[in-house]
Amino acid sequence: MTETTTVPAMEASDYQHRTVLLDEAVDALNLVGERAGGIYIDGTFGRGGHSRLILSRLEAQGRLIAFDKDPQAIATAEALEDSRFTIVHDSFATIADALAARGIGQVDGILLDLGISSPQVDDATRGFSFRQDGPLDMRMDTTRGMSAAEWLATAAEHQLEKVIRDYGEERFAFQIAKAIVARRAVQPISTTRELAAIVAGAVKTREKGKDPATRTFQAIRIFINQELEDLEAGLNAAYAMLAPGARMSVISFHSLEDRMVKQFLASKAKVEQPDRRLPIRAVDLPQPHMKLIAKIKPSDAEVEANPRARSAVLRVAERIGDAP
């Protein structure tokens, strides 16, 4: 029998991040009966809310492998002493390689939480938010890659416009890109407040209750961290790893992500119907590879307690049939 240790209770600092749809996302994995002894993936450890709950439901022979790009999340994960738990400092897009290196071919459930954590947003030194002034970094993994400030200093105007329009769904992308280029010709854009001020000057009309910089900051963060590319790769890798009967539980926080998740799961849950005029036996008809289980949004009580949960959407699907 595998030796385990008790899952530690959350420290006070952990409560700075309220895990969105905590129970719903883990419940959706269906960790009951024999499945409680299986292998599970937490694609974004964050501050460990989902991982801790999964571990509390796993039996001694169960196993949980978590991923995260953020060094601070990795430090939190490494303090979680449980022989059933492994943390990988990388994107969940690398699931296939990471599991192959550990001799794992299939898993019994995968949870992907695509949101940015509250500690990341609230730490001014990370540069994710315009509500506090800080260096314009925005990297999930501060040990590698180009910062937002470095990219803004070198990107062509047409690329700035495309990123802000496509990833931020910002209708004033042209004006914002032009303003950024004009400003950087005079002096570098190095802080969050500087960028927010530039955007505010370029946006002519404002959405009620939303800062004019919201869409631009979202767009740059998504681009810098290759979030949509990681999501596409991660969904495909996760699907390929699911054993029959295993479930994928995915939480998204903005329309671009949710659209990708919805379309991906729908594509696996439908089949092309053959010509009805052809003599095909029912047993030979093509079968779907996944079954859509649920679409869940936070309750009013959760949104009231944690306003950052308001845009979250949980989609759940189950793998059926043989391996792809």
Spacing of C-alpha 285 from chain mean position: 35
**Residues 10, 279: Cα–Cα separation, whole Å:** 61
User: 16 near 109, Cβ under 8 Å?
Assistant: no
**Cβ atoms 225, 146 nearer than 8 A:** no
Whole-number Å distance between alpha carbons of 46 and 26: 15
Q: Residue 40: name the closest of 246, 209, 183, 263 by CA.
A: 246
d(CA 56, CA 47): 16
Which residue in 296, 237, 246 sits closest to 264, CA to CA? Answer: 237
State in Å, rounded, how far the first CA of the chain is from the last one.
32
Binding-site residues, in ranges, read: 48-50, 68, 92, 113, 120
Q: d(Cα 40, Cα 120) in Å, to the nearest integer?
A: 25
**Per DSSP, what are the bridge partners of residue 248?**
110, 317
HSE, CB side, 13 Å, CA atoms: give it for residue 321.
Answer: 15
CB contact at 8 A, 20 and 309: yes
Of 154, 186, 158, 155, nearest to 173 by C-alpha is 158
d(CA 246, CA 38): 10
- Token pair, residue 12, equals 């006070």
Alpha helices in 123-191 (DSSP H): 148-154, 157-168, 173-184
CB 219 within 8 A of CB 164: yes
Q: Which residues are annotated as a binding site for S-adenosyl-L-methionine?
A: 48-50, 68, 92, 113, 120
